[in-house]
Amino acid sequence: MIETIASVGLAVNEKLNIQKRRIKNGKSKTRLSLVTGTHGDELEGQFLAYMLGSFLDEHIDMLDGIVDIYPALNPMGIDSITRGIPMFDLDMNRVFPGTKDGTMVEVICSSIVDDISGSDVCVDVHASNIFLKEIPQIRMSVPTAETLMPYAQKLNVDFVWVHESATVLESTLAHTLNTRGTKTLVVEMGVGMRITKEYCVQLFDGLISLMKYMGMWNGEVHEVREPIVSINHEVGFVNSAAAGIFVPCANFGDTVKKGDHIGDVIDPLSSKVVEKVEAVCGGLIFTLREYPVVYGGSLLARILEPEKECAES
């Protein structure tokens, strides 16, 4: 069943409709919400929403509960390949919880929060931007970690990144829902404006595993990977010291040692290497520059080091 959860008027007799699909079977009231499309340039969740919905259609008898799929919280952004909301130049994930008597965007955000609230678990799927590629991961704040970690470990991601609470923006959907008692996990994976099919398959297996853990799936599940858990300062940031073209020699997902050569910044005009890029610590490269043009300070890579051996960023 497709429902419209928010509708506002636009110019030329058009309407902006935010919709969800509800898939329900059995007697259980347990509810899982899959949310994506908050940023219009993040498309990984679009394929994931399709995968989950079509799979449940084919195996509806195995479901005992409610699955709500919100494929496009920012449909105008997706239509125009724009990260924020077109015309308003707003990042939707900086407007929550919204308000019922505010601007158009605030009213929409308020309706979204009201509709998702009450879910037993919400999975908020994001991709990276066009500049960086991210390995499948879950991000959460320290205050929510104890509550969310059992669910995060079922989602088949490679690692869980726990942030200090000061780094978590209060105007995000996830923070709003968590403060209202709806357990919400933020997933980051892939790269902007693209679909990384293998990551979508990986997280799909995780969603079915999570549903099994929640008692709302009676079918078989695939074994999921045990994520590495990173807390506080266990991530090393590699930033460019020069402008030019970044050419990596390490691969995404590689394990490196501190000082390893992971790439070069080159100058096409002088045909010289202007910077030899080295790993600031040992560990797993979980973020790697996808867009090659860089300037001084541009992020080139993030390296996960569980044993806290990273250099100061």
pLDDT at 232: 62
Domains annotated for the chain, with CATH where assigned, are 2-229 (3.40.630.10), 235-304 (2.40.50.100)
Identify the CA nearest to 266 among candidates 248, 288, 242, 244.
244
- H-run or E-run covering 37: none
HSE-up of residue 261 (Cα within 13 Å, Cβ side) = 8
Kindly tell me the burial class for residue 181, based on how many C-beta atoms sit within 10 Å of its own C-beta (0-12, 13-18, 19 or more): exposed
Tokens describing residue 298: 């541009």
pLDDT at 311: 47
Tokens describing residue 204: 């799909």
Q: Are 128 and 191 in contact (CB under 8 A)?
A: yes
Model-level pTM? 0.93
What lies within 8 Å, CB to CB, of 312 at 6+ separation is none
Kindly tell me the burial class for residue 139, based on how many C-beta atoms sit within 10 Å of its own C-beta (0-12, 13-18, 19 or more): buried
Distance CA 245, CA 203 (A): 32
Distance CA 118, CA 177 (A): 9
Identify the CA nearest to 71 among candidates 110, 106, 40, 104.
40
Question: pLDDT 10s per residue in the chain (313 long)?
Answer: 999 999 998 888 889 999 999 999 999 999 999 999 999 999 999 999 999 999 999 999 999 999 999 999 999 999 998 999 987 779 999 999 999 999 999 999 999 999 999 999 999 999 999 999 999 999 999 999 999 999 999 999 999 999 876 556 889 999 999 999 999 999 999 999 999 999 999 999 999 999 999 999 999 999 999 999 988 657 899 999 999 999 999 998 899 999 999 999 999 999 999 999 999 999 999 999 999 999 999 999 999 886 554 444 4
Side chain identity at residue 76, one-letter code: M
pLDDT at 170: 87
* Residue 183: count of CB within 10 angstroms of its CB: 17
Report CA Rg, the chain.
Answer: 20
Phi, psi dihedrals of residue 21, rounded to the nearest 5°: -115, 125
Q: Are 228 and 166 in contact (CB under 8 A)?
A: no
